[in-house]
Amino acid sequence: MTAQAFELPRSAARAAPLTLLTSPPAPPPEWMVRGEPTPAPAPPINAYRGSVREAIASACRPYALSDWSVAEMAALGQGHRYRARSQVLSAGGLPASSLWLLVRGRISLGKRDAGGRWWQSQGLSAGEWIDVSSAWMGESHPETALALTPVRVHEFPVEEVVGHCLNDAALVRVLLACVAAQARGATLQKQALLTKDTRARLAAWLLDCCQAQGCDHGQQFLLRQQKKDLASQLGITPETLSRCLRQLQEQGLLEMDGYRMCLTNVGEMRELAEREPPRYMR
């Protein structure tokens, strides 16, 4: 069979010119437009990565990150599981190369003394940084992290974070703010140990704990760590802590029911937290 040429009749060609598109073309995605700062759509989410997103948003408060920044950050690194009473991070080991975030569970930060006694400096709950600073300096972790419950933690290799930060200036600012906030908190804690008496330090800690759990005047909040660990964090003995808590109750500033607490007079509690120590303690 031989090929035959086909020619459109001239009358048809004059009457109906060929049209390839019957409607205007759809505009390109917003992120593809030249000069548009919005990046590509975030990767799909699964249950665990969703928890990581929530933990990142919580750890970075009160500094705001866009949904895209949170999703892209959550896509980095990998998660780890640890049983209760296991060691998550070890102080004084190899140089840190990752940022560490607590996604689920509770952790105690601190060190053991020569006698093996554990001294807690801080108790952490889900949505808090375990160590967000050491990896930037290439230093070892300053404290050991012990799991108080079964925990899920997420490791962000610092090189991956740096690579992502090249395209996300907002994340750079927020991570810097997180590092600065930890440094500032450590300074304030040291100042409190040097300049405030026991009850003032306890009052300040209760106010911070209440605020961290989003509670207002008269609302209950939970003491999420054992009292012996709180005493260690405040630099006092468990007996002294129990006595101070009892005094706050007698003053009508605090109500307690086991590990449930309620600040009944936030104004006076704040005055107590900011009070100057007696002259003989200066």
pLDDT in tens, 200-244: 888 888 888 887 677 766 678 888 778 888 888 788 888 998 999
CB 103 within 8 Å of CB 154:
yes
What is d(CA 132, CA 135) in angstroms, rounded to the nearest whole number?
Answer: 7
Q: Enumerate the domain spans of the chain.
A: 47-187, 196-281
pLDDT tens digits, 69-121? 999 999 999 999 999 999 999 998 899 999 999 999 999 998 888 888 888 88
CB neighbourhood size of 17 (10 A): 7
Is pLDDT at 17 greater than 50 in this prediction?
A: no
The CATH superfamily assigned to 47-187 is: Jelly Rolls (2.60.120.10)
Do 47-187 and 196-281 share a fold? no
Q: What is the DSSP letter of 29?
A: P
The tens digit of pLDDT for each residue in 31-75 reads: 444 444 455 555 556 889 999 999 999 999 888 889 999 999 999
**For range 167-172, the mean pLDDT:** 92
- What is the rounded distance in angstroms from the CA atom of residue 69 to the CA atom of residue 56? 10
- Backbone Cα Rg of the chain: 28
Shortest CA distance to 146 belongs to which of 102, 186, 212, 210?
102
Q: According to the model, what pLDDT value does residue 44 have?
A: 55
> Is domain 196-281 classified as CATH 1.10.10.10?
yes
The predicted model gives 192-196 an average pLDDT of: 69
Asked whether the predicted pLDDT for residue 143 surpasses 70, the reply is: yes
Q: What is the pTM of this model?
A: 0.64
Task: Read off φ and ψ for residue 79, nearest 5 degrees.
Answer: -95, 160
For residues 158 and 191, give the distance between their C-alpha atoms in angstroms, rounded to a whole number. 31
Secondary structure E strands in the chain: 78-82, 87-89, 98-104, 106-112, 118-125, 128-131, 144-147, 151-157, 220-222, 254-257, 260-263
Residue reference for tokens 């300053």: 142
- The whole-chain average pLDDT of the chain stands at 81
Q: And the tokens for 76?
A: 């980095």
**Which residues make Cβ contacts (< 8 Å) with residue 95, sequence separation at least 6?**
134, 138, 139, 140
Beta-sheet strands, E only, within 126-200: 128-131, 144-147, 151-157
Length of the chain: 282
> Do the beta carbons of residue 145 and residue 88 sit within 8 Å?
yes
- For residue 44, the SS3 value is coil
Of 39-48, 148-157, 175-184, the range with the lowest mean pLDDT is 39-48
Q: Which pair of structure tokens corresponds to residue 241?
A: 């802590």
